[in-house]
């Protein structure tokens, strides 16, 4: 790492950004940019060299030997596809970039699509064609929109998205017959047009390990609102808000690591920067394309966020021994935005040699040159995408605003730039700004979790033989055999209420179903610990005792007890006119269950990576999240007597009062039948999937759940129109009321047993190692973006 002398190949904005970042490394002695541009010429440690062409490999080798170069960094794709890495490797000079074989991932769309199919990497459905007539006939038959790609390199412009059959046929003719992109059009890929948001991920690779920079979003079209012709990129921002930690973990697990592993297994390990273009579809992330080098303008956007030494990272990736896993890749927890300024007429024909004036940007901002050069002492334009302003900010809005301030420092005749960079992020911000959260309805899950944490110490002081007094599970246990009653079983207690679902019952004057809810909320919490409920007690508090209302409620409690197989042994009724008002009432209940030690769940020590997650269908919203449900009903201007928008056969109130499903009997039967197959269970109650599934897990494992694997009741689809996906996940059951962790070899038997008892069963995921250790996510939800209305 001492005294690096770098040969940087290229002349664009990407190369200026690379030279800028590399020059900051104390290990870098000098950088020769071939040919460089007007921006690289002004950087410390950097010298432009125009004596050799970037495609003259023999000349580049001679220059490298003369200047004692010990690291080569090719910027553009063409030298890599043509084998520049192989040439320098033969003379013993390391290259940060892939071999000619590995560069086929960008050099041939056909090759990369076939690679993805071979290694089960998600991508769009496709067909390859080298015959124009066959391609034309295929276009006439497909029943979906398509994307047409010239298989070879086309300077980022060989991708056509036709909007009609006529446009598709014309694009095919332009590429294959009229040779619009030259030899790049010898073969085309015609693939399914994917919908969703695009992401670009730049990843450092050493052939084995992969470490990624923040996900970015490019703006390819020339016109605002993503209209007009395709370009090399008119702007970019990072990180993107849609790239949640869960999504990024999924991308690394299902796409990036399998790509690097597949290339190594196929005999062409990838070293350098892998650019993966993704579409985040309703069915999850899919690969649009691979590039085998840094993107432009993504590089100008993400490198200012990189805290680590870029030169150190490149050296770790470029040697014969993979060393990247030992080198940190740390980034600022900020935002970056880039606005590209183009020549008049771009991406069609445009003038060059336009005189330019560029002022020095303030701290936190950069001007990255692309199509510029020095003519004597004067700066002039030399390309279509001429220059870019970049800025870093604490928020995306701040970064974008600073970048546009940077544009004001650039002046040349006819300069053009888009004025809506990051508009998709701000669109999402605006569209979600009127969506509701549980906290806005007056309930804070975080405050509830904080309370539990604060009272744990006080609760622990009450421990006694047989009871450890640890809270946070679904129910509390006392081992009577340890409490002075030898041979006695373990008893389990649970206590819960119905919550603000009671308000809907009062408005609809229907009180029996919430009695069932009260029992269900308690006994479902017992059975997940392996206990059989045997007794129940209720509490009913009101302002004025209305006998008919109270009787209907208790009759519902009795029905719930019968459904659960437990006895209603007592209760308390309290009239408190100064505490409640009008016809208000509240209710709570406690269930007591029993089990033997061998029946205790969860068995965390038995859980392992690969255990299957099975879910039982819910009957609807059950009894949690009703403060938010009522807020949504009010927001939509609905009455509880109106027809339900999600159920034409019932009113809003009737549908919402569907009682919570009681899972006790089928679960107890299957537990008895399958021995130790079931390792843990989670009742999906307050806190939704996000908060409840982790309650059964050991600290080193996480639940990976694909939210697209089960049938979602219409009421949840309606709620998603007003509630953001993450809030849906941490508030509601979303169609699954119980989740089981099951040994893989016994999963089929458990599913069949539950189905035989009348349950609708889904296989929704598996247990995986918890990335990031105890600080990592405990519940990873795949395809959560498909919930966005």
672-685 pLDDT tens trace: 999 899 999 999 99
Mean per-residue pLDDT for 149-161?
71
Mean per-residue pLDDT for 736-755?
95
Burial per residue of 308-341, b for 16 or more beta-carbon CB atoms within 10 angstroms, e otherwise: ebbbbbbbbbbeeebbbeebebebeebbbbbbbb
- What pLDDT does residue 775 have? 64
Which DSSP state fits 695?
Answer: G
- Among 473-487, 514-528, 589-603, 633-647, whose mean pLDDT is lowest? 473-487
Looking at the predicted structure, is the pLDDT value of residue 449 above 90?
no
Residue 472 burial by Cβ neighbours in a 10 Å radius (0-12, 13-18, 19+): exposed
pLDDT digits 0-9 by tens, 195-204: 888 999 999 9
- What are the beta bridge partners of residue 344? none
3-state secondary structure string across 256-325: HHHHHHHHHHCCCCCEEEEEEEEEEECCEEEEEEEECCCCCCHHHHHHHHECCCHHHHHHHHHCCCCCHH
- What pLDDT does residue 178 have? 86
Torsion sign (Cα): 630, 636, 637, 638: negative
Looking at the predicted structure, is the pLDDT value of residue 122 above 70?
yes
Nearest residue to 222 via CA among 338, 350, 340: 340
**What is the spatial distance between Cα 694 and Cα 715, in angstroms, rounded to a whole number?**
25
- What pLDDT does residue 473 have? 64
Query: Is there a contact between 186 and 130 (Cβ–Cβ < 8 Å)?
Result: yes
Looking at the predicted structure, is the pLDDT value of residue 467 above 70?
yes
Mean per-residue pLDDT for 224-229?
87
pLDDT digits 0-9 by tens, 327-362: 999 999 999 999 999 999 999 999 999 999 999 999
- What pLDDT does residue 19 have? 98
Looking at the predicted structure, is the pLDDT value of residue 166 above 90?
no
**What is the spatial distance between Cα 174 and Cα 160, in angstroms, rounded to a whole number?**
10
- What pLDDT does residue 428 have? 55
pLDDT digits 0-9 by tens, 613-667: 999 999 999 998 898 999 899 888 889 999 999 998 999 999 999 999 999 999 9
Looking at the predicted structure, is the pLDDT value of residue 439 above 70?
no
Helical pair 423-433 and 396-407, crossing angle rounded to 10 deg: 140
- What pLDDT does residue 621 have? 94
**What is the spatial distance between Cα 647 and Cα 649, in angstroms, rounded to a whole number?**
5
pTM over 0.85: no
Q: What is the mean pLDDT of the chain?
A: 90
- What pLDDT does residue 442 have? 55
- What pLDDT does residue 17 have? 98
Find the angle CA(217)-CA(207)-CA(31) to the nearest 5 degrees: 70
pLDDT digits 0-9 by tens, 300-326: 999 999 999 999 999 999 999 999 999
Nearest residue to 292 via CA among 271, 310, 313: 271
**Could you tell me whether strands 284-291 and 365-369 are parallel, antiparallel, or unpaired per DSSP bridges?**
unpaired
Confidence of residue 444 (pLDDT cuts 50, 70, 90): low
- What pLDDT does residue 493 have? 93
264-to-101, 270, 555, 612 alpha-carbon distances in Å: 11, 7, 67, 30
pLDDT digits 0-9 by tens, 714-741: 999 999 888 888 888 989 999 999 999 9
Mean per-residue pLDDT for 519-530?
95
Confidence of residue 446 (pLDDT cuts 50, 70, 90): low
More confident site: 137 or 614: 614
Looking at the predicted structure, is the pLDDT value of residue 696 above 90?
yes
CB neighbourhood size of 1 (10 A): 12
Looking at the predicted structure, is the pLDDT value of residue 143 above 80?
no
Nearest residue to 714 via CA among 639, 618, 638, 628: 618
Looking at the predicted structure, is the pLDDT value of residue 80 above 90?
yes
Confidence of residue 246 (pLDDT cuts 50, 70, 90): confident
CA atoms within 13 A on the CB side of 12: 21
Task: Please identify which residue in the block is written with the tokens 């030279």.
Answer: 19
Query: Is there a contact between 160 and 171 (Cβ–Cβ < 8 Å)?
Result: yes
Beta strands in 18-89 (DSSP E): 28-35, 46-48, 71-74
Looking at the predicted structure, is the pLDDT value of residue 760 above 90?
yes
pLDDT digits 0-9 by tens, 576-586: 887 888 888 99
Looking at the predicted structure, is the pLDDT value of residue 2 above 90?
no
Cβ neighbors of 550 (< 8 A, separation 6 or more) are: 540, 542, 573, 585
Mean per-residue pLDDT for 565-586?
89
Helical pair 310-318 and 13-22, crossing angle rounded to 10 deg: 100
- What pLDDT does residue 452 have? 63
Mean per-residue pLDDT for 206-215?
96
**What is the spatial distance between Cα 91 and Cα 398, in angstroms, rounded to a whole number?**
48
Looking at the predicted structure, is the pLDDT value of residue 448 above 80?
no
- What pLDDT does residue 171 have? 86
Which DSSP state fits 760?
Answer: -
């Amino acid at each position: 790492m001492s005294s690096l002398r770098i040969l940087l190949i290229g002349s664009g904005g990407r190369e200026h950004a690379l030279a800028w970042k590399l020059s900051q490394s104390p290990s870098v002695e000098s950088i020769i940019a071939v040919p460089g541009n007007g921006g690289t010429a002004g950087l410390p440690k950097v010298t432009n060299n125009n004596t050799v062409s970037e495609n003259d490999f023999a000349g580049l080798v001679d220059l490298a030997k003369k200047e004692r170069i010990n690291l080569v960094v090719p910027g553009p794709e063409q030298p890599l596809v043509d084998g520049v890495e192989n040439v320098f490797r033969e003379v013993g000079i390391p290259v940060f970039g892939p071999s000619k074989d590995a560069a086929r991932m960008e050099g041939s769309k056909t090759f990369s699509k076939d690679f993805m199919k071979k290694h089960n990497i998600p991508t769009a459905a496709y067909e390859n064609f080298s015959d124009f007539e066959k391609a034309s006939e295929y276009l006439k038959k497909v029943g979906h929109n398509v994307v047409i790609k010239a298989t070879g390199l086309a300077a980022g412009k060989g991708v056509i998205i036709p909007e009609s059959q006529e446009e598709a046929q014309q694009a095919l003719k332009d590429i294959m017959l009229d040779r619009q992109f030259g030899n790049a059009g010898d073969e085309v890929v015609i693939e399914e047009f994917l919908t969703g948001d695009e992401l670009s991920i730049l990843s450092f690779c050493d052939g084995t390990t992969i470490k990624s920079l923040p996900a970015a979003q490019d703006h390819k079209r020339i016109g605002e609102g993503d209209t007009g012709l395709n370009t090399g990129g008119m702007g970019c921002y990072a990180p993107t808000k849609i790239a949640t930690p869960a999504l990024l973990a999924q991308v690394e697990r299902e796409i990036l690591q399998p790509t690097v592993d597949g290339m190594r297994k196929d005999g062409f390990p990838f070293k350098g920067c892998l650019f993966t273009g993704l579409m985040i579809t309703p069915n999850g992330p899919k690969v649009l394309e691979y590039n085998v080098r840094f993107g432009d303008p993504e590089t100008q956007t993400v490198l200012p966020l990189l805290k680590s030494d870029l030169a150190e990272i490149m050296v770790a990736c470029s040697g014969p021994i993979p060393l990247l896993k030992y080198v940190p890749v740390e980034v600022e927890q900020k935002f970056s935005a880039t606005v590209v300024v183009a020549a008049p007429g771009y991406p069609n024909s445009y003038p060059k040699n336009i005189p330019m004036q560029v002022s020095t940007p303030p701290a936190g901002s950069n001007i990255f040159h692309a199509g510029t050069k020095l003519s004597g002492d004067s700066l002039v334009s030399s390309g279509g995408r001429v220059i870019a302003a970049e800025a870093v900010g604490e928020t995306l809005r701040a970064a974008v605003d600073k970048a546009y301030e940077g544009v004001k420092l650039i002046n040349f005749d006819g300069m053009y730039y888009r004025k809506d960079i990051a508009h998709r992020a701000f669109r999402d911000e605006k569209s979600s700004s009127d969506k509701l959260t549980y906290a806005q309805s007056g309930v804070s899950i975080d405050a509830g979790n904080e309370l539990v944490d604060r009272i744990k110490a006080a609760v622990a002081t009450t421990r006694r033989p047989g009871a450890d007094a640890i809270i946070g599970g679904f129910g509390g246990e006392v081992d009577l055999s340890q409490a002075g009653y030898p041979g006695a079983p373990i008893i389990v207690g649970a206590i819960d209420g119905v919550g603000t679902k009671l308000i809907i019952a009062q408005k609809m004057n229907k009180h029996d179903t919430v009695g069932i809810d009260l029992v269900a909320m308690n006994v479902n919490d017992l059975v997940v610990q392996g206990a059989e409920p045997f007794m129940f007690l209720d509490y009913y508090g009101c302002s004025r005792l209305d006998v008919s209302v109270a009787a209907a409620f208790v009759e519902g409690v009795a029905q719930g007890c019968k459904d659960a197989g437990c006895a209603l042994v007592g209760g308390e009724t309290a009239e408190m006119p100064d505490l409640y008002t009008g016809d208000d009432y509240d209710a709570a209940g406690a269930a007591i269950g029993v089990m033997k030690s061998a029946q205790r769940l969860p068995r965390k020590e038995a859980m392992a990576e690969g255990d299957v997650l099975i879910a039982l269908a819910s009957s609807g919203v059950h009894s949690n999240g009703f403060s938010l449900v009522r807020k949504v009903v009010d927001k939509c201007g609905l009455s509880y007597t109106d027809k339900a928008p999600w159920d034409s056969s019932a009113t809003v109130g009737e549908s919402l009062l569907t009682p919570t499903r009681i899972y006790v009997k089928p679960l107890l039967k299957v537990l008895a039948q399958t021995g130790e197959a079931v390792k843990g269970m989670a009742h999906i109650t307050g806190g939704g999937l996000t908060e409840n599934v982790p309650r059964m897990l050991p600290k080193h494992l996480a639940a990976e759940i694909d939210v697209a694997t089960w049938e979602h009741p219409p009421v949840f689809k309606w709620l998603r129109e007003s509630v953001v996906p993450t809030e849906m996940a941490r508030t509601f059951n979303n169609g699954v009321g119980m989740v089981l962790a099951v040994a893989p070899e016994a999963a089929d038997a458990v599913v069949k047993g539950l189905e035989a008892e009348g349950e609708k069963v889904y296989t929704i995921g598996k247990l995986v190692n918890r990335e990031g250790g105890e600080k990592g996510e405990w519940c990873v939800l795949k395809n959560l973006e498909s919930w966005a209305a």
